[in-house]
Chains A and B, each alone.
Chain A
Amino acid sequence: KQEVTQIPAALSVPEGENLVLNCSFTDSAIYNLQWFRQDPGKGLTSLLLIQSSQREQTSGRLNASLDKSSGRSTLYIAASQPGDSATYLCAVKGGSGGYQKVTFGTGTKLQVIP
């Protein structure tokens, strides 16, 4: 069974810092990995999608990397801003449970302090 872990569960940083969020998964036979942010009481907003054949994806101040063999992905946020405060979730598609099996991590709650 695919297990997805996000550490730390919560993170508080001063504005302007660069930071890294981690996502680990146990079954490396994945098809893709997607990073989301979720604001309180809201739905999920897609940030980046990395296909299994890719090593990284970039969008603005965000950079996500994927190392399938070690079962890890990182989301790098440059020059953090208070508006980045949210819960960040990673979702892994695939694994031994089948192609459409999607497993979410429980998230990292980020607070950026002005």
Chain B
Amino acid sequence: DAGITQSPRYKITETGRQVTLMCHQTWSHSYMFWYRQDLGHGLRLIYYSAAADITDKGEVPDGYVVSRSKTENFPLTLESATRSQTSVYFCASSLDRDYEQYFGPGTRLTVT
């Protein structure tokens, strides 16, 4: 399917486990982003990538790792999940730096 997809849509994991959230876009957009959305904090940028093999930290990067070996994929890994990482995670992409961001449907992650 065309567009931007995220998987899984829902995930429950235990504290200390490693979790990887997947993001895939079919538009060949250069930029990709990961956000988390929490009540009281709104949306906050975790990491972004300007192109394959180029990534940079956002506002709240601690506890997360990203990679981008292919333009279309931008996985987000929680190396050792904590309860504070319970959130809804959104992936987004944009054609280039001055263009609109398009969001995926989100992944609801619960860490128990």
Contacts and interface: CB of A to CB of B under 8 A. Distances in A.
A101 B105 contact: no
B112 to A, nearest CB: 21
A46 B42 contact: no
A44 B90 contact: yes
Given A43-B90, A44-B90, A99-B97, A104 B102 contact: no
Q: Which label, helix, strand, loop or mixed, suits the secondary structure of the A interface?
A: strand
Contacts, number: 49
Given A100-B48, A101-B45, A107-B42, A46 B97 contact: no
B42 A106 contact: yes
A102 B33 contact: yes
A102 B45 contact: yes
Contacts of B75: none
A91 B43 CA distance: 9
Interface in B80-110: 90, 92, 97-106
Interface residues of A, number: 21
Contacts of A31: 98
Interface residues of B, number: 23
B107 to A, nearest CB: 10
A26 interface: no
A49 interface: yes
B52 to A, nearest CB: 17
Given A104-B43, A107-B42, A43 B97 contact: no
A46 B102 contact: yes
B43 A89 contact: yes
A90 B42 CA distance: 11
Contacts of B53: none
B68 to A, nearest CB: 14
Interface of B: 33, 40, 42-45, 48, 50, 56, 58-59, 90, 92, 97-106
